[in-house]
Chain A
Amino acid sequence: MRFTGCDADRGGGAGGGEMSNQRTRRIDRVTAEQLLRGVPVDAPGVRGGGVERRLAGVLAAAAAPVRVGELAGEEAAVAAFREARLGPAVESRRQSMIQSALAKLLTVKVAALTIGFTALGGVALAAGTGTLPTPLDKGPSAHPTSSPSAGSREGAGGPESPRPSPSLKGKGAGSKGTPSPSMVGLCRAYAARPVGARGKALQSPAFTALVTAAGGKQNVAAFCKVVLAAKASGAPESPAAVRPTEKPKSSGAPVEPGGKASRPAPSVTPTARVSG
């Protein structure tokens, strides 16, 4: 690996500025091309170590095997594929249905966003002044079974465990008998299900609070999208949790073909470098 500066890893520290680094060392095109192709940095003839090795690590991670949740749309995609086989008449009708459904969903999202942000502000204010009202008084332990996956995630997630649900207040719907400590947790659990299994999941008592808060099963998807988006943008203290990487009940998810756990193929070439 050729560098214009031939020093070994000088380890960051100095100067810290991007410009100074650019002057002192620079990845040349040959190196870059190898990195883009996923040639392992410790392959013969390649000088490992230093920043190019770290870069290779980042690229390998980016191309890493499929993550839980990434294939959530599989059944929907296959269903669309089947329908497309049925012929143009059905297809175009179906297409317009899908489009109008999408349009409707977007409208709901915008409306819900507005409500959501308002509600969040309200909750933040209330929390700040210590006047948060009580549907949450029951706490997570009151219903140990009601939302197992949400609970475990929150527990694992650490600091911000059971949170008041902004939406509970915001929607004003079903504030009575809403046991869940966390719409965020429920939404994560919901989102972690394969798309095809979500409708059924909502029939479970575990999701009753979620359905109530969303104002009906048909609104849950849009509702959760907003809750999770609001959570993501408004809660810097919550790391990594929005995209569950380890679903509590992952066995139900579509697994890679043939149970290929090792590296099921986000792309053909780059994954090979992980082991290298």
Chain B
Amino acid sequence: MRFPDDSAAQAPDLSVNESGFRLSESYLAAIAWIENLPQNQNGSDKTWVEEAIEESRLHFAKAVRVS
């Protein structure tokens, strides 16, 4: 699925000011696009997310210092 608005697709950016981040229009458009993807609707199967994170955790749990 393609991002629908080519102008907004250009490098989502974040601007910083003293009171915190200002989320740019392009960033918010990208977030809305992500939320509206078919795989992010109610009932979507996210088993793969948990499996991938657990796999990563187990991988790094085995790491040992070699020097």
Q: Indicate, yes or no, whether A interacts with B.
A: no
Interface residues of B (CB under 8 A from A): none
